Amino acid sequence: MTDPDMVPNAAPASHNSGGGRDLFSKFDPLIAERQALLDTGVRDPFAIVMDEVHSPVLATIQGKETILLGTYNYMGMTFDPDVVAAGKKALDEYGSGTTGSRVLNGTYQGHKECEEALKEFYGTRHAMVFSTGYQANLGLMSTIAGKEDYIILDADSHASIYDGCALGNAQIVRFRHNSVEDLDKRLGRLPADGGRLVVLEGVYSMLGDIAPLKEMVAVAKKHGAMIAVDEAHGMGFFGANGRGVFEEAGVEGDVDFVVGTFSKSVGTVGGFVVSNHPKFEVMRLVCRPYVFTASLPPSVVATAATSIRKLMHAADKRAHLWENSRRLHQGLRDLGFELATKEAESAIIAVLLPHQDKTVRMWQALLEQGVYVNMARPPATPAGMYLLRCSLCAEHSSEQVGRILDMFAAAGRATGAIA
């Protein structure tokens, strides 16, 4: 089935009369690879449409009721009645959008309330809300580290961290994923002058493994570095207050910046940085991804603030999410799947498959059974891996987790992924 919107080697409609090369030609190998895959008759794993969404864990996809197991909606807040009501009220009272930057006409009462909710949630003096988590990382990395400074980051860092580094002028040093020893070595080789920012993530989202934050923070401190931790996948269910892996690791007092997103446990869209640094507020004047873009709509900040306040008191949900995660991990391992971690380290369980063909077949077989998971492939994955990434939700019932395991068993046998 040829995708009429993407034809490899097709001549552009109006180009090249002057001899310049078609700037899209560099993508021809990718377009051809995708087409070859679609020609085998599989569905495109990157073009799924949710026709209807019934709850945080159920949707209709191509007419079939499907369990959602790849949404990062960890705490299931998207349909929380208080969250939805807050969004509707703000929509009625403040309209559909702010049409402006946070530093001009785009800060409403709701944006300040959302920042207050974050300050309470994290127990910090400062909180800055961005339009996405991607922009929060772009903003922090590109603004606080300048030409004379160093950013030291885990090789498996999220794209938004890398892109933030690319946007700024700091010198970038990478260390081996989760290696405390390599971090120590690389910090030790830096010249004495210049600032240092070590960037870590609580949970690494491709494999679902967590960082040894206690050890890493100690090493960063020893070398006089400031520390930023991205808790995109840890917020909501790690630590007694759901602040993230850094809370659970007991290093709250040593972390200078926590970056996060509203697009996972909070259940809407947006991003933030929280900090206790006394000069942090200057960021509002100098951080380009904060200044030069429109702020979040009032309905979004109202849903985020309500959700964040509810997440402070969600111990039962956290416990159920852990129960679900451990059960799925154990069940998949017992079925014979190869998993990225020895045990469930987070609510992301990544299933390793040998190559793209088998991964897409397994992904499609699961969808036909009635469960949606994320497929991930290089370059998004480390070490050229092909993965089916499952992310659990506190709203998955025990019965649903049992059904998911049955569907994995059937799909795995049908595709030869397990014996």
Ligand X SMILES: Cc1ncc(COP(=O)(O)O)c(C=O)c1O
- Which residues are part of the catalytic machinery? 205, 233, 264
**Strand partners for 55:** 58
Which one of 78, 137, 295, 299 is in contact with ligand X (CB under 6 A)? 137
Q: Is 201 in the site for ligand X (CB under 6 A)?
A: yes
Which one of 111, 126, 158, 310 is in contact with ligand X (CB under 6 A)? 158
Q: Is 381 in the site for ligand X (CB under 6 A)?
A: no
Q: Give the separation between CA 267 and CA 300, rounded to whole angstroms.
A: 10
Q: Is 133 in the site for ligand X (CB under 6 A)?
A: yes
Q: Give the separation between CA 56 and CA 400, rounded to whole angstroms.
A: 13
Local structure of residue 233 (DSSP, 8 states):
T
Least separation in angstroms between CB 19 and ligand X: 40
Residue 293 exposed, middle or buried by CB count within 10 Å (0-12, 13-18, 19+)? middle
Q: Is 389 in the site for ligand X (CB under 6 A)?
A: no
Q: Give the separation between CA 214 and CA 271, rounded to whole angstroms.
A: 25
Site string for ligand X, 259-298 (x = CB under 6 A): --x-x-------x---------------------------
Which one of 132, 241, 374, 400 is in contact with ligand X (CB under 6 A)? 132
Cα three-residue angle 416-371-319, rounded to 5 degrees: 110
Least separation in angstroms between CB 368 and ligand X: 27
Amino acid residing at 183 = L
Q: Are 325 and 346 in contact (CB under 8 A)?
A: yes
Q: Are 363 and 60 in contact (CB under 8 A)?
A: no
Tell me how many residues contact ligand X (CB under 6 A).
14
Q: Is 134 in the site for ligand X (CB under 6 A)?
A: yes
- Entry field: residues in the chain: 419
Of 260 and 331, CB closest to ligand X? 260
Q: Are 163 and 194 in contact (CB under 8 A)?
A: no
- In this structure, the strands spanning 226-230 and 196-201 are parallel
Among the residue ranges 18-26, 30-38, 132-140, 332-340, the one whose residues contact ligand X (CB under 6 A): 132-140
Among the residue ranges 104-112, 130-138, 310-318, 373-381, the one whose residues contact ligand X (CB under 6 A): 130-138
Least separation in angstroms between CB 160 and ligand X: 5
Q: Which residue is nearest to ligand X (CB)?
A: 133
Q: Is 415 in the site for ligand X (CB under 6 A)?
A: no
Contacts for 54 with CB less than 8 Å, ≥ 6 apart = 60, 65
Among the residue ranges 1-9, 128-136, 140-148, 323-331, the one whose residues contact ligand X (CB under 6 A): 128-136
**Strand partners for 175:** 154
Least separation in angstroms between CB 171 and ligand X: 22
Backbone angles phi, psi at 329, to 5 degrees: -60, -50
State the residues that interact with ligand X by CB under 6 A. 132-134, 137, 158, 160, 201, 205, 230, 232-233, 261, 263, 271
